[in-house]
Amino acid sequence: MMIRSSPSRVLPRRARRGVALLFALVTVALASVVALSYAKTRDSTLIAAEELRTAAEARNAAKSGLALATAMLDAGAVPSPSDQGVLFHHVSLGNTHIDATLYDLETNLPASPFTRAFMLVVAGMSGSLQQVTTAVGRLPADDSATLADVDLSEFAAFATTSIDIAPDAALARWNKSPFAPLHEPIAIATASRNPTHVTIGRDADAIDFVIARAAPLPTTAEAAQESLASGRVDIPDNIALPAAPLPPTLPEVIALSDGTALTLDGLVQGSTHSPADIRIPARASVTVRGIVTIGADADFRLERGARLIVEGTVALVVGDDLVLDGAEIEVAPGGSLVVYIGGDLEMENAFIGPLRLDVTEGRDSSGNAAWDGGAERAMLYAMQPADRRASSADARWVLRGNSVAKATLYAPAALVRLEGTSALYGRAVGDRVELASGSALFYDPALDDRQGFTASASGVYDNRGRVRTAILALTSLEPAALLSLAQSLGGRVQSVARNQPFLELASDTQRSAQQSASETSIVIAFDRASAASARLRDSTRGSGKDHEGDVEDIDEQNQHSRTAESFLQSMRDRRDAPLRMLTVVGRQETRQETRQETRHGGD
């Protein structure tokens, strides 16, 4: 078999040279791409490094501004109402500049001379980048050394005899209170200042609390911190436990022919007084307007589904028991309620407190109930023994089922007890205070002015660190007794009833009027500044020019208008959102604001 082989074909020399040239061109192209990528990477790295440097400068400027603002506040520098909360503005710091503004924690308005606690916002700016750090703290009153708070509102729970918190109960802050971000310890105490008279179950949800003990006041900040860290607050002398204020004078008795209960329904605009019971029938709704006193020599009963809405200044004087069976008492904004009870308080699946602006809230016993004005809007007092009409002197104030009270309960001789899943948002004073399994007490820190027994710098103590003798001798929270105490101390005395016209002292009334005028002037100034800024924008839009550039030029000339508008917007943004704030002493927080884009030509 014969095999034939074909001769191999040899490529022309020119074709081989063409392939080599193609390989060379591809290699050069790849090298060019690699070189360009490397150059671009170096440019990006340089840009990123520049941004990091700018961000670091802005962050350091914000921290430096926080230190400067804290030092100014420690030195007593507080903005006047005309400053609109601005502590300092556009202070140069190397290549950066810083701003600092104080806001009132309660109102979200710029701080005023009447601000009790503040949020400090410090902005550090470097180039087009801004970093913001925030902090919270308290502003002491001008007369803090001679100002005394004597109604024990600094204690979440105060008992003449004992406090008992069951293993499955809760003691915590009301986290929707505007003062909650201060993270101050929750104080509880008994009249003996003996921690062994306070029983807290092993599994109780009690956090960040301190118990009063009999000990001299700490002489240094370090000693005070050590005491708090050990879960104790030192009080050197007995704690005065004055009786509740006296109820207002009742109108003439309405004669009832058969001695049956007086029934309320619809609108009530005048004072009334029944020698028997007063009742609000099941599913009825009663609205009380004006300055009204309603007195019942026997019981005051709200039957299942009944609702009492307080739209004015209202005092309820109940000779025997106040009974709410699945019923509600709500205090509208601008209204106030003071209840004087001669016998028991019985709440079963009921509600007492400010008008709930969130209609979906229900009776929230989880600790997340809306603040709605806090625990000062509804105040419940046990009558003094001489004014009691009830047959038993051993009163019981009990919240059962899923009852919720956003209020202050002040009953020094009564048992105050929470049962079931009931919750008290506010504070409680009683002979014994008991939180049964499943119940909760959420303290409203807005009640504490830091001028009571837990504040060593308050007017409660003399210059030797002892409780003033006149305060120990105080027997009643009656306004006349408080005025007499103020005169003997040569200072000012207040109680948590500062917003209650029935109980407010004359000096506090004047101070409240000044505070209202101050806040009104701030609001007016903000409204005017916001309107001026809006007019500037409108006029710029109508000019047909470069809007953004013109607005920046005009705003630079009208800095207060621009600042006021940003303040207003920030307040609107914070209105329904929890504030992210930290204490002045402790950690710091920074966040990066939206970077301002630089405009190039017609882009």
Cβ neighbours of residue 267 under 8 Å, at least 6 residues apart? 286, 287, 289
Output the pLDDT for position 107. 84
pTM (two decimals): 0.77
Q: Are 84 and 566 in contact (CB under 8 A)?
A: no
Q: Are 332 and 353 in contact (CB under 8 A)?
A: no
Owner of token pair 């080599």: 20
List the chain residues with pLDDT less than 70.
1-26, 28, 31-50, 254-259, 359-360, 386-393, 496-603
Output the pLDDT for position 281. 95
Q: Is 53 helix (H, G, I), strand (E, B) or coil?
A: helix
Domain ranges of the chain: 77-139, 144-525
Reported as a single tens digit per residue, the pLDDT across 190-206 is: 999 999 999 998 888 88
Q: What is the identity of the amino acid at 202?
A: R
Output the pLDDT for position 553. 43
Number of neighbouring beta carbons within 10 Å of residue 40 = 10
Pairing state of beta strands 345-348 and 396-400?
A: parallel
Reported as a single tens digit per residue, the pLDDT across 479-505 is: 888 888 888 888 888 876 554 555 545
Q: Which residues pair with residue 88 across a beta bridge? A: 100
Q: Are 339 and 318 in contact (CB under 8 A)?
A: yes
Q: Is 254 helix (H, G, I), strand (E, B) or coil?
A: coil
- The DSSP call for residue 252 is P
Reported as half-sphere exposure (CB side, CA atoms, 13 A), residue 17 has a value of: 3
The span from the CA of 268 to the CA of 264, in Å, is: 8
| CA-based nearest residue to 438, from 452, 450, 423, 451 | 423
Owner of token pair 């000990």: 215
Backbone angles phi, psi at 491, to 5 degrees: -140, -150
Reported as half-sphere exposure (CB side, CA atoms, 13 A), residue 422 has a value of: 27
The span from the CA of 385 to the CA of 413, in Å, is: 9
Pairing state of beta strands 129-138 and 117-126?
A: antiparallel
Output the pLDDT for position 161. 94
- The DSSP call for residue 110 is B
DSSP 440-484: EEEE-GGG--S-STT-TTSTTB-TTS-B-HHHHT--B--HHHHHH
- The DSSP call for residue 75 is T
**Phi-psi category of 318—alpha, beta or left, where left has phi over 0 and alpha has psi -120 to 50?**
beta
The span from the CA of 374 to the CA of 333, in Å, is: 11
- Helices 506-541 and 479-489: crossing angle in degrees, nearest 10, is 90
Q: Which residues pair with residue 155 across a beta bridge? A: 187
Q: Helices (DSSP H) in 91-203: which residue ranges?
A: none
The span from the CA of 474 to the CA of 237, in Å, is: 14
Owner of token pair 């440097």: 53
The span from the CA of 347 to the CA of 325, in Å, is: 6
Output the pLDDT for position 448. 92
Backbone angles phi, psi at 382, to 5 degrees: -85, 135
